Amino acid sequence: MIDEKTAQQAKELLGELKKNVKILTFSQDKDCMYCPQTVELVDDISKLSDKIQVEKYDFTGDKEVAEKYSIDKIPAIVIMSEDKDYGIRFFGIPSGYEFVSLLDAIKVVSTGEHGLSDSTVEKITSIQKPVHIQVFITPTCPYCPRAVMLAHKFAYVSDNVRGDMVEAIEFPELANKYNVMGVPRSVFNEDDFIEGAVPEKVFADKLLEVANK
C-alpha cells in the first residue's frame, strides 16, 4: 500500500514518536470493499516504527469492542495511546491526501505536540458538552487534510470532542444524509456544518458555538 519513497518519508516522520501508540482496525471479510486495503495500510505503517502497536478486530465478531469505541461502520481506524482513547477516528481508507492525516494523528497522540494556539486550546478545553465532528472527505481533495487534522487535534485536546474522518465515496448514504455536495464538509452534532478548509480560529469558534447551544 505504501511505495518506497513514501515509506521512507513516513519513517522519518514516525522517527519523532515518543510514547507508544495503539492503532485499532475494524473490518470484516465480506461486504467491505476497502477493508483489506485499510488493514494492509495500517500493517505497513506499523512496520515503520516500534512505537506503533496494532490491534485488529472483526466488526461482526467483536461487537462489544466495536460498541466500546462507537464503531458503527467499516473500515474504521482508532488512534489512541496505550491507555487513553482521544476520540480520533477514521472511517474509510485514509489514502491519497488523507495519508498525511493518519500520520499526523499518530504523531500528535505520541508526542502531544498538537500545534494549536493557546487561545484555541482555551476555547476547546472550556467545552462542557459532547460535540461530534464528522469531516467528509475524498482521497483526491488536497484541502481536506487540514479540516481532518483540526478535528483530530480538537479531539485530542478535549475529552468532550470526537473527530471523525469520513470518506464520502465509501459512505454515500451518509454523504446524502448530510448534503455533502463538496469536500471538505465538517458536520457538528448532526445539524451544524462548515464548508471548506477554514482557518483554525473559525473552526474553533464554530465548535464553541455548537457546544454552547
Match 502531544 to its residue by C-alpha cell.
112
CATH number for the segment(s) 4-111 = 3.40.30.10
What is 118-211's CATH number, 3.40.30.10, 3.40.50.150, 3.40.1370.10, 3.10.580.20?
Answer: 3.40.30.10
**What predicted TM-score, i.e. pTM, was given to this entire model?**
0.97
Confidence at residue 1, expressed as pLDDT on a 0 to 100 scale: 81
In terms of Cβ atoms closer than 10 Å to its own Cβ (0-12, 13-18, 19+), residue 73 is middle
d(CA 55, CA 50): 14
Q: How many residues does the chain have?
A: 213
How do the pLDDT tens digits run along the chain, 213 residues long? Answer: 899 999 999 999 999 999 999 999 999 999 999 999 999 999 999 999 999 999 999 999 999 999 999 999 999 999 999 999 999 999 999 999 999 999 999 999 999 999 999 999 999 999 999 999 999 999 999 999 999 999 999 999 999 999 999 999 999 999 999 999 999 999 999 999 999 999 999 999 999 999 998
Determine which helix (DSSP H) or strand (DSSP E) holds 100, and give its type and residue range.
Answer: helix 99-111
- Output the CA torsion 22→28→29→35 (10° steps): -60
Domain spans in the chain, listed from the N-terminal domain onward: 4-111, 118-211
Give the three cell numbers for residue 161.
Answer: 470532542
Where are the extended beta strands (E) located within the chain? 21-27, 52-58, 76-81, 85-91, 131-137, 161-167, 185-188, 192-195
Q: What does the alpha-carbon distance between residue 77 and residue 73 come to, in Å, rounded to a whole number?
A: 10
Q: What pLDDT shows up at residue 100?
A: 97
